[in-house]
Structure 1
Amino acid sequence: MMAYRFGPRLAGALAALLCAGQALAATVVPADHAHLQYTGRIDHADAAAPVLSWPGSSIEGNFTGGTLAVRLRDQYGKNFFNVFIDGDLARPVVLRAEEGSKTYAVATGLAPGPHRFLITKRTEGEEGATAFQGLELADGAALLPPPPRKERRIEFFGDSITSGMGNESPDDGPDHRLEDKNNFLSYASIAARELGAEAHVISQSGIGVMISWFPFTMPDFYDQLNAVGDNDSKWDFSRWTPDVVVVNLLQNDSWLIDREKRLLPVPDDRQRARAYKRFVERLRSLYPRAHIVCALGSMDAVRPGSKWPDYVRAAVEEMRREGDGRIDTLFFEFTGYQAHPRVKQHQANAARLAAFVRGKMGW
């Protein structure tokens, strides 16, 4: 089995992955078991193998017995998952899902009594989709009723910053390694936990509002059930309604329009603000009662002298003049760091966002 190196925050946390047939469990828990709790835009068309594609999608539950194994069928062999046991959020078991179907041993030798697990998708749609095929527990063990669902809900629409691209890489390390991408430690997921809120994360590295590093934009992508590229899948917005919506977009637009000159003719200031406003208005039409936070940062789109925060302000101010009283702006400070934010920056941005939302929502 090939070994994978992780940043210092995950030192010692990577478990050995065991192939199907090596797992120690004997009690099979199917993926459609009533005690499994799913969170995120997850495709349940095949109840025996629900598909996770969006970053931060999760499965959790309570169980008995001394062992736990997870059955996955991965599309490309590029996805990474966290598995947390008994609420130990500082020491995840990190799984790299190999292409195809495999069973991965997560925990052995657990003490007698009840235990809990949380599985979260570290990576995003560009790494492909993963079908969850159930669990294997110790002989005679059982799945228990799940924890109660959180009552608060927050949804994020963003790019690589929201996904957590490169956040576990060293400060002087590369941004592109899949093992260093961890949505669980993005500002979005951290803030949701601080607020005691259930989160949906709709993000894609490289995406923009007017232009992306690929042929589709967030206005093409935001309503999909499946996050693997631009596709015809449709999310049913009536299934889950957020109390708060956070939009953190335009970083890629800033690079591709101003630096790369890839959008011609070059939109003027008013066109940029209007394109952003049109997307936020789509979200408002879906969520008429949600509080919308139009955020930006903390990469160089918010550097001193940048006009991109002005486009966000202009869009929000116009919506307010038109009668929208539940919309605000929030800008995460550019620290001068030129790469994707690392965990410490995500933590700072999460604290700022959580405090802002508490003030607006009374949470």
Structure 2
Amino acid sequence: MKYFLALVLSISLFVSCNNLPKQITIKPTSEALNYMGRTVWAIDSSVAELCWSGASVSLNFEGENLKATLKNSERDNYYNVIIDGVADTILHIDTLRKEYVLAKNLQKGKHNIQLFRRTEWTFGKTQFYGFKIEGNAKLLPADSKKKRSIEFYGNSITAGHGVDDPTDQDRWDSIYSNNYHTYASVAARHFDAQYSCIARGGIGIMVSWFNQIMPELYYRHDPTDSNSKWDFKSNPVDVVVVNLFQNDSWIVNYQEHEEYKRRFTNNTPDKKYIIKAYANFISKIRGHYPNANIVCMLGNMDVTQEGSLWPEYVEEAITTLKDDKISSFFMPYKNSEGHPKIADQKLMGEALIQHIEETIGW
């Protein structure tokens, strides 16, 4: 009798385990997915577009293999595939709609996948059509909404240009860009905060190396569409970090540059002009986020080198705003060629974390 009961129990367990579906397809609109960043919805709101640096989609599941169907508008866009917190795979997305294997032969139990955009929006949009779990597939509930949120506005330092370049060449190939290793991403992960990064290499507040400045970009939902406006009211954040002026600090000295002529035709960018421009931009941010703590950051490139006047401009702009929830944070000049690498970004992230803990109390 005991043998019979044991046999029945064994058969029941076998049938139960094998009742799990062989595969499950998860659509982009599934409530089991968590998105970070300003996700754009295309094709009748059924396809998610990941555009901004650090934009991501994540999923909790059980299964042996995981696939994703993706398409990129350009060929030089890369993602980190993060399985159970380990980012050891880089995915290059093609311009043809394809199914990509993200993980295979996984052990039994719960797993988490995060598809994390390394590159900035100028390298093309990525259309996400969904995930597919294979082998004893089980869809698990999404993680609960994060209790904290942080948004960054920046240039190539914040985007992560050249951070993974092992040489001192500071190469512009997008494979060396990696927002995951930036100070911004480091700080967001430390605080387990919802993360949004609005950045473009070469951009400034008053003038850029091209015909677009941050006041013309920051409000966009879709970075490529000037008429696409982000819903700030429905998506409030707790902390905003603004790390700009690095590019402005160079271009104001090149009066023959096309963008200098375009932006300063009737105005000379003197101290008064610079302070007003910065204060105006921070005021725009405050208008959208009335309760947020704002960190006005500079560095760690030569905008903060010894003798630079730009930290003083930022401090004076903050003073004119008379806002107790606005603080300044200046990262010392790294005093080396090119953009900050992984170690530099890590130091910046740790320093920013300390500033936020001491100033805001997180």
Equivalence map 1:279-358=2 (5 Å)? 279-320=281-322, 324-358=323-357
* 1:325 partner SS: coil
Q: Which residue of 1 is the match for residue 98 of structure 2?
A: 102
**Pairwise CA distance, 1:259:** 4.4
1:172-212 Cα distance to aligned partner (Å, 9 max, x none)? 13331201100011000001111221111011111110111
* 1:239 partner SS: coil
State how far apart, in whole Å, the 1-side matches of 2:25 and 2:291 are: 42
Q: Which residue of 2 is the match for residue 121 of structure 1?
A: 117
Q: Which residue of 1 is the match for residue 45 of structure 2?
A: 47
5+ residue gaps in structure 2?
Answer: 1-21
State how far apart, in whole Å, the 1-side matches of 2:122 and 2:109 are: 39
**Pairwise CA distance, 1:112:** 1.6
**Pairwise CA distance, 1:153:** 0.8
Q: Which residue of 2 is the match for residue 252 of structure 1?
A: 247
1:35 correspondence with 2:25 = no
State how far apart, in whole Å, the 2-side matches of 1:260 and 1:78 are: 33
1:243 correspondence with 2:211 = no
1:111-137 Cα distance to aligned partner (Å, 9 max, x none)? 122211111110011101111100121
5+ residue gaps in structure 1?
Answer: 1-24
1:295-344 Cα distance to aligned partner (Å, 9 max, x none)? 01111111111111111111011112xxx111111001102112111011
8 Å CA contact 1:166, 1:341 repeated in 2:
yes
Identity %: 36
Q: Which residue of 2 is the match for residue 138 of structure 1?
A: 134
180-189 vs 255-264, which deviates more?
255-264
Q: Residues 71, 260 of structure 1: CA spacing in aligned structure 2 closer, same or farther, 3 A cutoff?
A: farther
1:225 corresponds, among 221, 242, 260, to 221
State how far apart, in whole Å, the 1-side matches of 2:280 and 2:212 are: 16
8 Å CA contact 2:163, 2:339 repeated in 1:
yes
8 Å CA contact 2:164, 2:342 repeated in 1:
yes
Q: Which residue of 2 is the match for residue 192 of structure 1?
A: 188
Q: Which residue of 2 is the match for residue 15 of structure 1?
A: none
Aligned length, in residue pairs: 333
8 Å CA contact 2:23, 2:134 repeated in 1:
yes
State how far apart, in whole Å, the 1-side matches of 2:140 and 2:247 are: 44
8 Å CA contact 1:37, 1:60 repeated in 2:
yes
Q: Which residue of 1 is the match for residue 65 of structure 2?
A: 67
State how far apart, in whole Å, the 1-side matches of 2:169 and 2:215 are: 32
1:196-244 Cα distance to aligned partner (Å, 9 max, x none)? 211110111111101111111100000001123x632111112211111
State how far apart, in whole Å, the 1-side matches of 2:331 and 2:91 are: 31
State how far apart, in whole Å, the 2-side matches of 1:335 and 1:218 are: 24
1:80 corresponds, among 78, 81, 94, to 78
Q: What's the C-alpha RMSD, in Å, of the aligned pairs?
A: 1.5
Larger Rg: 2
8 Å CA contact 2:295, 2:328 repeated in 1:
yes
* 1:200 partner SS: strand
State how far apart, in whole Å, the 2-side matches of 1:352 and 1:196 are: 17
**Pairwise CA distance, 1:149:** 2.2
8 Å CA contact 2:71, 2:128 repeated in 1:
yes
TM-score, length-scaled by structure 2: 0.89
State how far apart, in whole Å, the 1-side matches of 2:320 and 2:197 are: 26
1:4-27 Cα distance to aligned partner (Å, 9 max, x none)? xxxxxxxxxxxxxxxxxxxxx943
Q: Residues 106, 35 of structure 1: CA spacing in aligned structure 2 closer, same or farther, 3 A cutoff?
A: same
State how far apart, in whole Å, the 2-side matches of 1:217 and 1:47 are: 29
8 Å CA contact 2:221, 2:228 repeated in 1:
yes
**Pairwise CA distance, 1:261:** 4.8
Report the AA paired with residue 340 of structure 1. Answer: H
1:263-291 Cα distance to aligned partner (Å, 9 max, x none)? 24531111011101100000011111111
**Pairwise CA distance, 1:74:** 0.7
TM-score, length-scaled by structure 1: 0.88
Report the AA paired with residue 53 of structure 1. Answer: C
